[in-house]
Amino acid sequence: MTSTTVEEIDLNESTFDTAAFAKQALSNRRALASVIDHTLLKPEATRQQVLKLCAEAAEYRFACAMVNPAWVTTAHAALVGTGVPVGAVIGFPLGTSLCTTKRDEAAALVRLGARELDMVLNIGLLKSGENALVQKDIRGVVEIAHEAGAILKVILETSLLSLEEKLRASELACAAGVDFLKTSTGFSTGGATAADVALLRGVAGGRCGVKASGGIRTLEHARSMLEAGANRIGASTGVAIVQALDAP
């Protein structure tokens, strides 16, 4: 078994080879782990559980360890020197914080060591047709993240959106300069679907990544997301997903 990671496959400015990426990501455990955000966002999560998440992230070489803001300092201390970044959520899970609050939160989190930020867009503004405000909300956090060398994923909460709203939200986020479009928080009425991932990839092309998140608990579910066009998976069961790849 080789230890090649999916980093060998480039995102072109205008295209993304879904089949090639999925094949490589599913070729071995290390490659699969490298596209999974190992996630613990439950409000009742304890320090010990966060430390366990970080230990697993370092052992399996997950893309990042994704935690709530209050645990970023703990996660950063646990992962320093491992090469595995800390991820944190912003405006989570509703997306209705003030624009200034989201920017302040982003600035605080990157100072504390977060290098991947997952931000919920303002769904109410989107549904109100306030496109300029939606884009401004996202762009403000993009600028702070990129200035700090961090990446930003914007959570669309696709289960709450119509087809037109999904397309419009995706385009606004891409125009704002996000690094990933993300399907779901996992705290709303539904999670990731292959159809939504394919839709987001259709808008993004190779301009940015697509993260499937929300209810992804098995290898087969993760496989379906990758084959639909995701190049990042958010899951709280990352260890089980990776271990299932070449299980008998």
Which of 37, 118, 179, 196 does the annotation list as catalytic? 118
- Give the chain as a 3 state SS string: CCCCCHHHCCCCCCCCCHHHHHHHHCCCHHHHHCCEEEEECCCCCCHHHHHHHHHHHHHHCCCEEEECHHHHHHHHHHHCCCCCCEEEEECCCCCCCCHHHHHHHHHHHHHHCEEEEEEECCHHHHHCCCHHHHHHHHHHHHHHHHHCCCEEEEECCHHHCCHHHHHHHHHHHHHHCCCEEECCCCCCCCCCCHHHHHHHHHHHCCCCEEEEECCCCCHHHHHHHHHHCCCEEEECCHHHHHHCCCCC
> Would you call 182 a catalytic residue per the annotation?
yes
> Would you call 136 a catalytic residue per the annotation?
no
Which of 137, 179, 182, 196 does the annotation list as catalytic? 182
> Would you call 127 a catalytic residue per the annotation?
no
Active site positions, annotated: 118, 182, 211
